[in-house]
Amino acid sequence: MIVRDLVAAQKSPRRIVSPDGHWESTRLLLADDGMGFSFHITTIYAGKSFRLHYKHHFESVYCIRGRGDITALNTGQVHVIAPGVMYALDLHDPHILTAHDELELACCFNPPVTGSEVHQADGSYALEARPLADR
């Protein structure tokens, strides 16, 4: 069983702050935990907007707090993000995420991230070929 406290994890190397100052993410489950996905609590700072394209990962996101929107770049469709809304990038959808208020999001990635990733210039994470930890 894995049990982690968010506040304690935020004071550890599991908390990553983006180099551009748009977001921070506390990675509660990572590839080495052997679950087959990673789980993060991510904060997008108010007024920030950026392009993302997870070409190597599937992501699902649940909004806990705040308001924003996500624009699907393939279709131009804009979806409101608010508490209780979930979106899943099931087609590796390129998108623009905009935080009107500070957004607090619960995010799952498959395959799992290793912990220190930051976005590449194209908005993706690199795919790291690391075996799951022996349990």
Give the model's pLDDT for residue 78.
98
| Sign of the torsion formed by the C-alpha atoms of 79, 83, 86 and 89 | positive
Both structure tokens of 121: 């210039």
Q: Where are the beta strands (DSSP E) in 53-134?
A: 58-65, 68-72, 78-81, 86-89, 95-99, 103-110
Give the model's pLDDT for residue 43.
97
- The predicted model scores a pTM of 0.85
Segments of the chain with pLDDT less than 50: 129-135
Give the model's pLDDT for residue 118.
62
DSSP 7: H
Structural domains of the chain sorted by starting position, each given as residue range(s) with its CATH number in brackets: 21-110 (2.60.120.10)
Give the model's pLDDT for residue 3.
97
